[in-house]
């Protein structure tokens, strides 16, 4: 008997003309943690979706414990002991944790027994779950825990985690890894999809690499290093450091003073935030997610109702103007070129159902010569320029942007935002979910903007990148500024302390 829990043999899956997986042969052993590594669009999620019964392979065979199986639906997958935790949670907000966990199971509903069983699972692996809490009261990491408990409750022996750490803080990630190790000790097989190489090193026994839908190879994690993995992933050598030039011609561009924002419930989101962003400089913003980063950028962009404070824009030759109380259109009409790459790319920065050319129009549709008619030609040209210059992979500029992969969506958005040669460029989690290659393209573009004299405000989550990309780093903690540090003379520990404790460095 072999020790493979899952074997893929010659599995192929195509979507129209796109080959998502091509003749994949891969084994997952019992009781191991396997990292599935690959760039965006390399077919990791598709492969796992076939194991979880979401997709059905065009050809090839999947074996579970050496038995050939047919997985037609997620129910088949559950029956075979396969459970997948998707990147986007599939929970019902208004139901409780326990209700979500039993949802869809057959038999009589007995919530008491359910809660007992949930508690057993939690004690066994070290989860913390309150079965009676409603989902909408849970944090992102708690929701993820519920998803994992849900698949364990269904008796999963093979767990698939699709980019579980993308939404977690370093502390939460560590907690997740601890639980994963407990599950492994219990003999479960775990497949984790991730982009982050240091996490691959930290958690997995073996790493399998996909590239453009093909299986490239696998190796024992402890016997390989990050450079090796990267090379297999992108098939060419990458420099893993960012070329940071010294800022030149630094002038104050945006001056934020005493900015205070409350949410509709009256809770402080930003409290007395003051800082200056300079031209020709990248100001990094670090902080645990949800500490006011979104509100800060949206206040400057004119999208957020502000309680008090001011956001002064300082042009080169004119008097400073306050941006508070102006909407994006008014800011634009004042002749201020302010670009914003929001966190929610398809929900705010772009319209998923519109094609590339129409998405270019979002910023420019008012500027046509005619009062009534909009100019459709210039945006088309811009779309073609962006596709060419940023190497966006798309069938045409008439393709809806939602059909593009994450990295290409971001290139379209950033491409549009920098096309206006902005004086201020704000980006929120610009590389979230992007593979290494795309990420470096984005860093490169940001650096070019800085050299062109733009004041860049970069909200990021990867501290290593912040330290290499930014000139100065502002750390937010619970809506307050806990420190502004010089990136060159700071290390990760200092940032981490500032992130968790206000004024940690003082």
Partner 1 sequence: MTEKTQKEPLFHVVKRDTVSRRKEWAIRAVAIISALILCSGIIAMFTGDNPVEIYRSIFLGAFGSERKTWITLQNISVLLIISLALTPAFKMQFWNIGGEGQVLIGGLASAACMICFGEKLPNGMVILLMVITSVAAGAVWALIPAVLKARWNTNETLSTLMMNYIAIQLTAYYIIVWEVPKGSGKIGIINQNSAVGWLPNVGNKYLLPIIVAVIVTAFIYIYQKYTKHGFEIAVVGESRNTALYAGIKVERVIVRTMLLSGAICGLAGLLLVGGINHTVTTTIVDSQGFTGVMVSWLAKFNPIAMIATSFLIVFMDRGASEISTAFGLNQSFADILTGILLFFIIGCEFFIRYRISFRTGKEKH
Q: Which of 258, 328, 335, 503 binds partner 1 (CB under 8 A)?
A: 328
By CB under 8 A, tell whether 78 contacts partner 1. Answer: no
Task: Compute the least distance from the CB of residue 379 to partner 1, in Å.
Answer: 10
By CB under 8 A, tell whether 68 contacts partner 1. Answer: yes
By CB under 8 A, tell whether 290 contacts partner 1. Answer: no
Are 164 and 199 a contacting pair, CB within 8 Å?
no
Task: Reduce the secondary structure of 179-200 to three states and give it as a string.
Answer: HHHHHHHCCCEEEEECCCHHHH
Task: Compute the least distance from the CB of residue 247 to partner 1, in Å.
Answer: 29
Indicate the pairing of strand 206-211 with strand 33-37: parallel
By CB under 8 A, tell whether 109 contacts partner 1. Answer: no
By CB under 8 A, tell whether 342 contacts partner 1. Answer: yes
Of 100, 136, 125, 126, the residue nearest 115 (C-alpha): 100
By CB under 8 A, tell whether 374 contacts partner 1. Answer: yes
Task: Compute the least distance from the CB of residue 445 to partner 1, in Å.
Answer: 20
Q: Nearest-5° angle of CA 328, CA 447, CA 358?
A: 40
Binding part of the chain for partner 1, among 14-22, 24-32, 241-249, 266-274 by CB under 8 A, reads 14-22
Q: Strand, helix or coil at 65?
A: coil
As a dihedral over the C-alpha atoms of residue 13, residue 17, residue 18, residue 24, rounded to 10 degrees, the angle is 30
Distance of CA 196 to the CA centre of its chain: 11
Task: Compute the least distance from the CB of residue 83 to partner 1, in Å.
Answer: 20
By CB under 8 A, tell whether 9 contacts partner 1. Answer: yes
By CB under 8 A, tell whether 223 contacts partner 1. Answer: no
By CB under 8 A, tell whether 362 contacts partner 1. Answer: yes
By CB under 8 A, tell whether 393 contacts partner 1. Answer: no
By CB under 8 A, tell whether 267 contacts partner 1. Answer: no
Binding part of the chain for partner 1, among 119-127, 149-157, 279-287, 338-346 by CB under 8 A, reads 338-346
As a dihedral over the C-alpha atoms of residue 462, residue 465, residue 471, residue 472, rounded to 10 degrees, the angle is 20
| CB closer to partner 1, 221 vs 427 | 427
Task: Reduce the secondary structure of 146-184 to three states and give it as a string.
Answer: HHHHHHHHCCCCEEEEECHHHHCCHHHHHHHHHHHHHHH
| CB closer to partner 1, 361 vs 436 | 361
Are 192 and 203 a contacting pair, CB within 8 Å?
yes
What is the C-alpha separation between 71 and 64, in angstroms, rounded?
A: 10
Residue 325 buriedness (CB in 10 A; 0-12 / 13-18 / 19+):
exposed
Q: Which of 181, 201, 332, 501 binds partner 1 (CB under 8 A)?
A: 332
Which residues bind to partner 1, rule: CB under 8 A?
9-10, 15-18, 56, 58-61, 63, 66-70, 72, 301, 303, 327-332, 340, 342, 344, 347-354, 358, 361-363, 365-366, 368, 372-374, 376, 395
């Amino acid at each position: 008997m072999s020790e493979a829990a899952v074997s893929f043999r010659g599995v192929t899956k195509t979507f129209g003309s796109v080959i998502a997986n091509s003749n994949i042969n891969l084994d997952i052993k019992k009781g191991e943690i396997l990292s599935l590594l690959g760039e965006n669009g390399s077919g990791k999620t598709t492969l796992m979706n076939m194991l979880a019964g979401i997709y059905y392979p065009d050809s090839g065979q999947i074996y579970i414990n050496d038995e050939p199986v047919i997985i037609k639906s997620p129910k088949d997958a559950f029956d075979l002991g396969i459970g997948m935790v998707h990147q986007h949670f599939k929970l019902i907000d208004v139901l409780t944790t326990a209700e979500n966990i039993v949802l869809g199971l057959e038999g009589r509903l007995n919530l008491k027994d359910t809660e007992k069983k949930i508690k057993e699972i939690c004690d066994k692996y070290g989860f913390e779950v309150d079965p009676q809490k409603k989902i909408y009261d849970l944090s992102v990491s708690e929701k993820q825990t519920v998803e994992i408990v849900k698949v364990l409750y269904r008796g999963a022996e093979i767990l698939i985690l699709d980019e579980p750490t993308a939404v977690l803080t370093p502390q939460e990630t560590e907690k997740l890894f601890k639980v994963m190790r407990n599950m492994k000790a219990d003999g479960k097989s775990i497949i984790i999809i991730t982009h982050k190489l240091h996490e691959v090193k930290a958690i997995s026994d073996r790493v399998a690499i996909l590239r453009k839908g093909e299986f490239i190879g696998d190796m024992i994690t402890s016997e390989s290093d990050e450079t090796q993995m990267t090379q297999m992933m992108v098939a060419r050598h990458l420099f893993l450091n960012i070329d940071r030039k010294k800022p030149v011609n630094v002038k104050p561009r945006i001056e934020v003073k005493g900015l205070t924002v409350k949410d509709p419930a009256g809770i402080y989101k930003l409290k007395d935030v003051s800082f200056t962003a300079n031209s020709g400089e990248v100001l990094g913003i670090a902080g645990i997610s949800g500490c006011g980063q979104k509100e800060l950028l949206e206040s400057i962009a004119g999208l957020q109702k502000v309680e008090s404070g001011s956001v002064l824009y300082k042009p080169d030759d004119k008097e400073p103007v306050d941006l508070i109380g102006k909407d994006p259109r008014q800011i634009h009409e004042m002749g201020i070129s302010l670009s914003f790459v929001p966190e929610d790319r398809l929900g705010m920065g772009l319209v998923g159902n519109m094609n590339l050319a129409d998405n270019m129009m979002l910023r420019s549709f008012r500027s046509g010569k005619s009062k009534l008619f909009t100019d459709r030609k210039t945006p088309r040209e811009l779309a073609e320029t962006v596709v060419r210059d940023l190497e966006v992979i798309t069938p045409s500029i008439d393709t809806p942007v939602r059909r593009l992969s994450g990295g290409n969506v971001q290139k379209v958005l950033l491409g549009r935002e920098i096309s206006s040669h902005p004086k201020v460029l704000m980006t929120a989690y610009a590389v979230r979910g992007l593979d290494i290659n795309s990420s470096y393209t984005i860093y490169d573009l940001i650096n070019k903007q800085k050299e062109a004299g733009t004041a860049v405000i970069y909200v990021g989550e990867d501290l290593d990148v912040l330290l290499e990309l930014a000139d100065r780093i502002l750390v937010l903690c619970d809506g307050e500024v806990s420190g502004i540090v010089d990136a060159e003379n700071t290390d990760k520990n200092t940032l981490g302390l500032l992130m968790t404790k206000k004024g940690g460095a003082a």
